[in-house]
Amino acid sequence: MHKRVLVTGGAGFIGSHLCERLLARGDEVLCVDNFFTGTRANVAHLLGHPMFELMRHDVTFPLYVEVDEIYNLACPASPIHYQFDPVQTTKTSVHGAINMLGLAKRVRAKILQASTSEVYGDPGVHPQPEGYWGNVNPIGPRSCYDEGKRCAETLFFDYWRQHRVRIKVARIFNTYGPRMHPNDGRVVSNFIVQALKGEPITIYGEGLQTRSFCFVDDLVEGLMRLMATEDAVTGPVNLGNPGEFTMLQLAEAVIELTGSASQLQFLPLPQDDPRQRQPDIAKAAAELGWAPTVPLREGLKRTIDYFDALLSAGRAQAIAAD
């Protein structure tokens, strides 16, 4: 029997891919988004689907619907977007979590929180296991997102302990793929767009800081597997690709795959930028039977094709203005 599933932030990069997968499985999907960073273009191809519904709504306000499962993905996730209105970013994480948990409690739905590797801050442990409490600056320019997500996790576990709400918490590491926002300021989209335009590729610091890049299809599979687990499995569970690459290595791969003549441009390192980020995914392997399968070069090719088509059609400007 199909489920009625609510996806907040469903018109965003990850959310739109999740909506697709849920529909393909036969579920009824209610996609909720306020279109701050999500775009209608991401779900335009789903609007004619008889099991898909799109609702404009901000999760900082209560929502009254009947659903079986909730994926709470609503929150700007790139520094450029979450620092644009930091107070609203914190409200989205905290008030949004309270409202969605309240909904889950009322209708007895299972609810998954899309948390983030940013809860680990600039980690003193490498790679980062779920038991590591993190090294986060509570008053820095990234705090609206980092601490907002940490507080959301607190709320989820308190609702679980106090009200027995069935929760799942996923800590998402760097994810990339088609439908990333072209101006989101994240490294994969930055490098690809700059390379395709023949502009200098901007690298912060010496480019030796590392990240781990998970292709969006792998990430969505992990989210759905986590939601499908028994109630005793709450997380938090790291979801990401443990392959670790420096910014220089990523830039070189993008230049090679695009055939670009772009040169590297080195800029000062932003405040509180983590030096290392790599997930320990032993828990995901053990509890979900999950591991990423898409190699970085293959995922980059598919992402480059998306941005190439976007730029060729002049749609990047339209999306940026949406």
Catalytic positions are 145
Q: Per-residue DSSP letters for 30-59? A: EEEE--SS--HHHHGGGTT-TTEEEEE--T
- In 3D, which of 217, 213, 149 has the Cα closest to residue 186? 213
CB neighbourhood size of 83 (10 A): 16
- Residue 147: its H or E element: helix 143-163
Strand partners, 168: 112
| Tokens standing for residue 8 | 């907040």
Is cis: bond before 127, omega within 30 of 0?
yes
Task: Specify whether the CB–CB gap between 150 and 144 falls below 8 A.
Answer: no
- Residue 302: its H or E element: helix 296-312
Contacts of 274 (CB under 8 A, 6+ apart): 120, 121, 122, 123, 209
Alpha-carbon distances, residue 63 vs 55, 79, 100, 163, 177 (angstroms): 11, 27, 8, 19, 30
